[in-house]
């Protein structure tokens, strides 16, 4: 149960402040709570509002924390667009998000002016307590080590079991933000400085200040629902959708307003390649309601303009971004797809000491290498199902497309080993700084969130009670709030 109680001595928490610019008093400030304990709004009275260029806030980390401060700068254009400049009252409102719940937060606010001067003030914001269940009370296997030089501090947990998704925690396992759309969905991504959520046939956008809007309804183009993930594309955001005719094999790229830019239907693409290669696609490709493909993630590779798609049932497949033509396939050769010469012709060979991915999740491009979480679970629908291993591992592959070869260059094998049969993710931030998410399977008992720093150290290790199969955090992504520019 997620509860919070917002109570203050007065309706608005008045803060007696003297705001100084060049020794001259510019007014006072007030703050009031937002939609959740993690958001507050600070109102600054500024006589010369026409000369405001930007506004910035910084939240000091808790005592002893290794995390960096939340540090956000708003441009004047952004503040105007969001209605946070009030010329009539001579007032600028600064949305402050990423606060700690249930404590005093030291917040430094800086207003910059067009003449190059600025005003700086410090506010103590008292927030309400919050009980986020397992998200507020994980099992700490290893707390964030102060000496670890982790490149990131904030983590987006994608939960379809909890209507407060997305849930943002820091590397100390402190909850720092929760969603306000009242939607439990695994289709969540940070894009265009907001959170995008897919549910039903609708795409939603939630701002950092807690405001949620409906961007689009795709039912008119046959979309019946979202599934799995939202991933960055070439210019927009790639959605995984089901349609009237196809299950888990259609991707849409949309712009920040939800307008459809491109569509890839893997049933059509794979069928066309099989026909061209002399095979009967009806023996492999199926239409709704059969989940023959099970797409769970995509990634854009800029170096060769490719869309890389994870098919849990079959393989990792790369398409020409513009034409949709198949470029290569990487997967277990003991699965059904390898029985067809038309598809086998696209198969990458495996380099020395290289294992193929099986039932993989969370494909991404790190540098120019392919990163994914190799679950090790064979096919559910396609027969033969291929190999099933008794462990799972994140893996990274070097792609030598000139020689049609993929070579494993990194993997992570914890002790003891883990087996996460269906849900999981791995992403790399700065070089060798990884975030790993897995759900211990058989039975599903907890979701683990592990950080690795650039020296190979385990920076933290937290375990969250499992909710609804792998709904606690089926995927976890890195976000950056330590130097955020909102323009």
Give residue 444's pLDDT. Answer: 76
Q: Which residues of 407-427 are buried (b: 16+ CB within 10 A; e: fewer)?
A: bbeeebebeeebbbbbbbbbb
Cβ atoms of 308 and 322 closer than 8 Å: no
Among 8-22, 31-45, 208-222, name the one with the lowest average pLDDT: 8-22
pLDDT band per the 50, 70, 90 thresholds, residue 469: confident
CB 370 within 8 A of CB 428: no
Pairing of strands 212-217, 260-265: unpaired
pLDDT digits (tens, 9 = 90+) for 419-459: 999 989 999 999 999 999 999 876 678 999 999 999 988 99
On the question of a common fold for 3-131 and 133-486, the answer reads no
d(C-alpha 479, C-alpha 156), whole Å: 7
**In this structure, what token pair is assigned to residue 284?**
């492999």
What are the tens digits of pLDDT across the range 138-186? 999 999 988 788 999 999 999 999 999 999 999 999 999 999 999 999 9
Q: At residue 8, does pLDDT exceed 50? A: no
**Sheet containing 223-232, strands listed edge to edge, beginning at the edge strand earlier in sequence:** 223-232, 237-243, 250-254, 260-265
State the average pLDDT over residues 350-369: 97
Q: Does the bond joining 103 to the residue before it have cis omega, within 30 degrees of 0?
A: no
Lowest-confidence pick of 119-128, 196-205, 254-263: 119-128
Neighbouring C-beta atoms of residue 272, cutoff 10 Å:
16
Q: What percent of the chain has pLDDT over 90?
A: 86
Residue owning tokens 């800086």? 110
DSSP letters along 208-234, please? TTS-EEEEEE-GGGTEEEEEEEEEE-S
Fold (topology level) of 133-486: Neuraminidase (2.120.10)
Query: Cα-atom radius of gyration of the chain, to the nearest Å?
Result: 24
Residue 24, pLDDT above cutoff 50: no
Percent residues over pLDDT 70 in the chain = 94
Is 3-131 in CATH node 2.30.29.30?
no
Structural domain spans, the chain: 3-131, 133-486
- Strand (E) or helix (H) holding 343: helix 341-344
- Report field, pTM of the whole predicted structure over 0.85: yes
Mean of per-residue pLDDT scores for the chain = 92
Which pLDDT score is estimated for 145?
A: 84
If you average pLDDT over residues 253-273, what whole number do you get? 98
- The lowest-confidence range among 20-34, 49-63, 112-126 is 20-34
DSSP state of 236: S
What is the β-pairing status of strands 306-311 and 315-320? Answer: antiparallel
Q: What b/e string do you get for 389-406 counting C-beta neighbours within 10 Å, with b at 16 or more?
A: beebbbbbbbbeeeeebb
Report the alpha-carbon distance of residue 7 to residue 255 in Å, rounded: 40
Q: Given the DSSP bridges, would you call strands 13-15 and 194-199 parallel, antiparallel or unpaired?
A: unpaired
**Of 330, 323, 315, nearest in space to 284 by CA:** 315
Residue 432, phi-psi category: left (phi > 0), alpha (psi -120 to 50), beta (remainder): left
Whether the Cβ atoms of residue 150 and residue 459 lie closer than 8 Å to each other: yes
Q: How many CA atoms lie within 13 A of 349 on its CB side?
A: 8
Nearest-angstrom CA–CA distance, 328 and 424: 24
Q: What is the pLDDT of residues 80-114, one digit of tens each?
A: 999 999 888 889 999 999 999 999 999 999 999 99
């Amino acid at each position: 149960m997620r509860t919070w109680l917002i109570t203050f001595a007065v309706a608005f928490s008045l803060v007696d402040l003297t705001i100084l610019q060049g020794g001259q008093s510019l007014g006072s400030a007030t703050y009031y709570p937002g939609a959740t304990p993690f958001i507050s709004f600070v109102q600054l009275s500024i006589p010369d509002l026409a000369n405001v260029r930007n506004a910035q806030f910084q939240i000091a980390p808790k005592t002893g924390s290794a995390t960096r401060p939340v540090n956000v700068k708003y441009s004047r254009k952004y503040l105007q667009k969001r209605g946070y400049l009030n010329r009539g009252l001579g007032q600028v409102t600064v949305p402050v998000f990423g606060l700690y719940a249930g404590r005093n937060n030291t917040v430094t606010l800086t207003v910059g002016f067009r003449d190059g001067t600025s005003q700086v003030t410090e506010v103590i914001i008292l927030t309400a307590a919050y009980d986020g269940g397992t998200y507020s009370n994980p099992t700490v296997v290893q707390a964030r080590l102060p000496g670890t030089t982790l490149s990131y501090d904030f983590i987006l947990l994608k939960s379809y079991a909890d209507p407060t998704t997305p849930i943002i925690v820091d590397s100390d396992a402190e909850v720092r933000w929760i969603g306000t759309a009242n939607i439990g969905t695994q289709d969540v991504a940070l894009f265009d400085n907001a959170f995008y959520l897919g549910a039903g046939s609708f795409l939603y956008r939630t701002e950092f200040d807690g405001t949620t809007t409906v961007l689009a309804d795709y039912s008119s183009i046959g979309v019946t629902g979202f599934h799995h993930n939202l991933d960055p594309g070439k210019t927009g955001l790639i959605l995984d959708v089901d349609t009237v005719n196809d299950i888990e094999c259609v991707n849409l790229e949309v712009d920040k307003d939800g307008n459809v830019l491109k569509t890839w239907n893997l049933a059509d693409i794979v069928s066309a390649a099989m026909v061209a290669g002399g095979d009967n696609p009806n023996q492999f490709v199926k239409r709704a309601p059969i989940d023959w493909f099970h797409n769970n993630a995509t990634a854009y590779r800029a170096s060769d303009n490719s869309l890389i798609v994870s098919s849990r049932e079959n393989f990792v497949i790369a398409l020409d971004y513009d034409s949709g033509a198949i470029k290569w396939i990487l997967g277990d050769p003991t699965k059904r797809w390898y029985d067809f010469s038309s598809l086998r012709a696209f198969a990458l060979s495996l380099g020395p000491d290289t294992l193929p991915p099986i039932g993989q999740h969370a494909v991404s491009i790190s540098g120019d290498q392919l990163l994914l979480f190799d679950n090790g679970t064979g096919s559910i629908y396609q027969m033969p199902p291929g190999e099933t291993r008794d462990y799972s591992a994140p893996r990274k592959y070097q792609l030598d497309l000139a020689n049609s070869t993929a070579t494993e260059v990194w993997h992570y094998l914890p002790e003891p080993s883990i087996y996460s049969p269906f849900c999981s993710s791995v992403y790399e931030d700065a070089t060798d700084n990884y975030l790993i998410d897995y759900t211990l399977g058989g039975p599903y008992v907890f979701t683990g969130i592990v950080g690795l720093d650039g020296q190979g150290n385990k920076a933290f290790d937290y375990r969250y009670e499992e909710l609804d199969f792998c709904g606690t955090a089926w995927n976890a992504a890195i976000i950056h709030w330590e130097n955020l520019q909102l323009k």
